[in-house]
Amino acid sequence: MMSQTETNLGAAESAASPAASAVVDASGANPTPVTIVVPHALLENLAARFRPSSLCLMFLNNEGAVAFHDAAAGPFFQRFALPMLQHPDAMTRALRDHLAAQTANAPVTVWNGLPGVTIAAFPYVERRQKLGMLVLAGKSIDFKLGEDVVRVCNRLALDAIWLGQQADELAAYTAEAVQRQARLLLTMVRDQLRLAGLESELTSLSTQLANTYEELSLIYQISGGMRVNRRSVDFFKQTCVEAIGVMGLRGMGVALHCADKLGQEPVLYGPTALDTPTLTRLADELLAWMKARKTSLLVNDIARDKRLAWLAGSARRLLAVPMQRGDEVLGVMFGLDKEVGDFDSVDSKLLNSIANESAIYLENAVLFEDVHGLMMGLLHSLTSAVDAKDAYTCGHSERVAMLAKIIAQEAGLTDAEAERIYMAGLLHDVGKIGVPESVLQKPGRLTAEEFEQMKKHPAIGARILADVKQIQDIIPGVLHHHERYDGKGYPDGLAAQNIPLMGRIICLADCFDAMTSTRTYRKALPLEVTLADIRRCSGTQFDPGLTDAFLRIGMDRLREVVRHQESTARLDLRASAVLGGGAGGNSSGGPTPNAPTAESSAPIAAAIAAGKAA
């Protein structure tokens, strides 16, 4: 017959993790629902725990069919109890029907209706839905080879004597004993599954911590690269490549509203490739979207998106976020396709964090470019004012600066170093502000006293720039651009490597411009003559290493420089004539009328550097 214990095993859905797959409650008269995960491996483990106690663990689905049983249980259970439970007779059908009718809140049920077997069962529930019954079976205390047992043996084709021998090896259980074992089972299930849940949470937490560490490391690396004087192309390349690795993207790109100011065209990094027209169209549409919506765009099926269906041949998924400061959208960062899975809110959150950091860099970079442009404009105005004191040397400082930058690049210096040398070239003659115009514009040879005045202009220039802290590093180039490699220059008579590198480079560029520029007292020297003279003065006036770098520039490129000089000189002369400029004299880097000519084969560059010119 059927009996019910006082233990209520109702199950209810809880607010547990979605990973929970079963709810089992076995707490007594006032049950508290317990959310537990019941994997197959755990059932095997629990079955092994109860096997030495002569008990067999089984699981019946909602139709009453046996979905799990202890495959290592003894012959009594394998050949008698389990087949009897599965046999379609009236008695077992009644048991299966009763177990199948149990609700999610049903209590533990003890059943003595099977001959020689006592079972205890309780519901197995997931999300308020009963998925089946956990069953613990044992040999009944009143087992004997009576009429009922023999009838079952005949039906199952078993030898009753053999079954009795197998039963003798097992412990016998009363209904109350099976109930206690069922309670113990539930306690073990609850404890084991709590541990399994904690282990799962720990694994999940470890994974989250690892992902968070990678994300924080990425943000830290991005922040570390946010130098305002760093090229935007380099910054965004590093950012995109590192984000591709962390997020598992097939492609990541950037498009800016301020592309012209920073020289940053739309770019895409990663295995996914887009041709220029496609990338440009995508950048334009994303920029328009971000400007209008100022929110993320997540599309996991581009082919079904009316706005982006044209991109379906190149990508399947897209995630785009704005680079925004305040209400102003500065640009957009976008990812194309993931190596595994779709884009989700976690990806969106991380890419937004990257974009926010990048927006800070971008805002600062734009401000830096504005300030840098203002400063360079002022420097050009200053050098133009200096050059304008002599109509024949107008544009000299700009030309020297450009050539000095080319020499620096050819010598293997970095772009940043070349830019600073360019600035030093612009300002190398700023000290001529302190030289009388009567000396600068004198058409004939300078007297010894006038020459001493001319020799002061490097030191004057250095003093003028001394109070501007942002350009302290270029002062050595201004102060020492008239030093000679053999130590016979001025103002300090430095020699060889003691001369600052900027000074050695500007000296070479200054002399080249002087010799290839037209003056009132002579025409520009032919390029071949100029190069021969520079080669001859290597090691005496010029640094041999820099001379080699200069000569590697090549005739074709130097001819372009000379043609540029000639065109700017004509423009400057016309401008000077309009403004009433002077006729020109000794302010340039060329020789005076009494200096040797090209035909004399004299060391013209040496004469220039000796002070007979700027």
What single string gives the DSSP state of each residue in 206-245?
Answer: HHHHHHHHHHHHHHHHHHHT--TTS-HHHHHHHHHHHHHH
Q: Is 70 exposed, middle or buried (0-12, 13-18, 19+ CB in 10 A)?
A: buried
Task: Report the candidate in 55, 85, 98, 56 with the shortest Cα–Cα distance to residue 155.
Answer: 85
- Identify the residue whose tokens are 């430095």: 494
Sign of CA dihedral 321, 322, 325, 330: positive
Whether the bond into 491 is cis, omega within 30 of 0? yes
Distance between CA atoms of residues 524 and 562, nearest Å: 10
Q: Look at residue 255 and tell me whether its pLDDT is greater than 50.
A: yes
Question: What is the residue-averaged pLDDT of the chain?
Answer: 78
Q: Percent of the chain beyond pLDDT 90?
A: 22
Is the pLDDT score of 80 beyond 90?
Answer: yes
How far apart CA 555 and CA 266 sit, in angstroms, is 36
Nearest by Cα to 334 from 286, 294, 278: 286
DSSP one-letter code for 312: T
Position 501 confidence tier, pLDDT thresholds 50, 70, 90:
very high
Burial of 433 (0-12, 13-18, 19+ CB in 10 A): middle
Backbone φ/ψ region at 157: left (φ over 0), alpha (ψ -120 to 50), beta: left
- Is residue 48 within 8 A of residue 71, CB to CB? The reply is no
Q: Flag whether pLDDT at 519 surpasses 80.
A: no
Q: Which residue has the higher pLDDT, 168 or 583?
A: 168
Amino acid residing at 259: A
* pLDDT higher than threshold 70 for residue 580: no
Position 10 confidence tier, pLDDT thresholds 50, 70, 90: very low
What is the reported pLDDT for 260? 60
| Average pLDDT of the residues in 521-549 | 86
For the cut 80, the answer to whether the pLDDT of residue 351 exceeds it is yes
Asked if residue 162 has pLDDT above 90, the reply is yes
Q: What is the pLDDT of residues 204-237, one digit of tens each?
A: 888 778 777 777 777 777 776 666 667 778 888 8
User: Confidence class of residue 281 from pLDDT cuts 50, 70 and 90?
Assistant: very high
**pLDDT level of residue 391 (50, 70, 90 thresholds):** low
Q: Which residues contact 166 (CB under 8 A, 6 or more apart)?
A: 74, 75, 76, 79, 80
Element (H, E) at 513: helix 501-515
Q: Region 529-551: what's the mean pLDDT?
A: 90
In whole angstroms, how far apart are CA 246 and each of 81, 201, 209, 241, 345? 56, 23, 14, 9, 15
H helix and E strand count, the chain: 22, 14
Query: What local confidence, expressed as pLDDT, does residue 158 receive?
Result: 92
> What was the pLDDT predicted at 168?
93
pLDDT in tens, 54-75: 999 998 888 778 888 999 999 9
What pLDDT is stored for residue 571 in this prediction?
46
Show the tokens assigned to 177. Answer: 């004993």
Rounded to the nearest angstrom, the gap between the alpha carbon of residue 377 and the centroid of all alpha carbons in its chain is 35
Q: Which residue has the tokens 């996991």?
A: 300
Whether 11 shows a pLDDT value over 60: the answer reads no
Q: How many CB atoms lie under 10 A from the CB of residue 559?
A: 12
What tokens appear for 332 in the block?
């957009």
CA 368/CA 208 separation, integer angstroms: 38
Q: Which of 52-66, 85-99, 259-273 has the highest mean pLDDT?
A: 52-66
More confident residue, 359 or 262: 359
pLDDT at 398 over 90: no
Q: What value does the mean pLDDT take over residues 403-407?
A: 92
* Residue 455 CB partners (closer than 8 Å, separation 6+): 482, 490, 491, 611
Among the ranges 194-208, 231-245, 405-419, which has the highest mean pLDDT value?
A: 405-419
Domain annotation for the chain: domains and CATH numbers: 2-199 (no CATH), 225-367 (3.30.450.40), 388-612 (1.10.3210.10)
Using DSSP's 3-state secondary structure scheme, residue 180 falls into: helix
What size, in residues, is the chain?
A: 614
More confident residue, 227 or 558: 558
* Tally of CB atoms within 10 A around 338: 18
User: For residues 239 and 321, what is the distance between their CA atoms, to the nearest angstrom?
Assistant: 14
Amino acid identity, position 306:
K
Tokens 């930058």, located at residue: 405
Q: Is the pLDDT confidence value at 167 over 90? A: yes
**Residue 508, pLDDT score:** 92
> Is the model's pLDDT at 609 over the cut of 80?
no
Task: Give the span between the Cα atoms of 437 and 586, in whole angstroms.
Answer: 10
What is residue 54's predicted lDDT score, i.e. its pLDDT? 93
Secondary structure class of 264 (helix, strand, coil): coil
* Res. 389 pLDDT band, cuts 50 70 90: low
Q: Determine which of 222-226, 345-349, 452-456, 457-461 has the lowest per-residue pLDDT on average.
A: 222-226
Q: pLDDT at position 5, please? A: 37
Instruction: Evaluate if residue 263 carries a pLDDT over 60.
Output: yes
Give how far the C-alpha of residue 86 lies from the chain's centroid of Cα atoms, to the nearest Å.
Answer: 61
Q: Measured between alpha carbons, how far is 505 from 492 in angstroms, rounded to an integer?
A: 17
